[in-house]
Amino acid sequence: MENVELELSFSGPAIYRITIKGEIPDTHVGRFGHMNFKVFRVENARPETILEGRISDQAELSGVLKSIYNLRLPIKEVTLLED
C-alpha cells in the first residue's frame, strides 16, 4: 500500500464528522447549532452521537472538541470528510 501524505491547512474551512459516546444535553445543543447531529441508540448500550458539519478553521475545531470535553462526553472519532 502506498503512503499518501495529505496537505492539511490550519486556516481553511473543512467538513468534519465527530463521533462521541453519549448524548449532548438539550441545554447545550446551541453550542453546536451550525452542525447536524444524529443520536444512535442501541439496546443495553450507551447512545452515540454523530456531529457533522463545516468548521471554519482549526481554532473552531478545537473549540468544538473542548465543548464536547467540557460536557464529559468521550470523543470516539474525528474524521475529516472534505477539505
User: Average per-residue pLDDT in the chain?
Assistant: 86
Q: What is the Cβ-side half-sphere exposure of residue 32, based on CA atoms within 13 angstroms?
A: 27
Cα separation, 66 vs 45, in Å, equals: 25
Tell which CATH classification among 3.40.309.10, 3.40.50.300, 3.30.70.2040, 3.30.420.40 matches the domain 14-82: 3.30.70.2040
More confident residue, 47 or 82: 47
Cα separation, 66 vs 39, whole angstroms: 20
* Residue 51 pLDDT: 94
CA distance to 25, 42, 71, per residue, from 54 (Å): 21, 27, 21
pTM over 0.85, yes/no: no
Q: Is residue 7 scored above 80 in pLDDT?
A: no
- Mean per-residue pLDDT, 7-30: 84
Compare 43 and 17 and report the one with higher pLDDT: 17
Q: How confident is the model over 27-62, as pLDDT tens digits?
A: 887 887 789 989 999 888 889 999 999 999 989 999
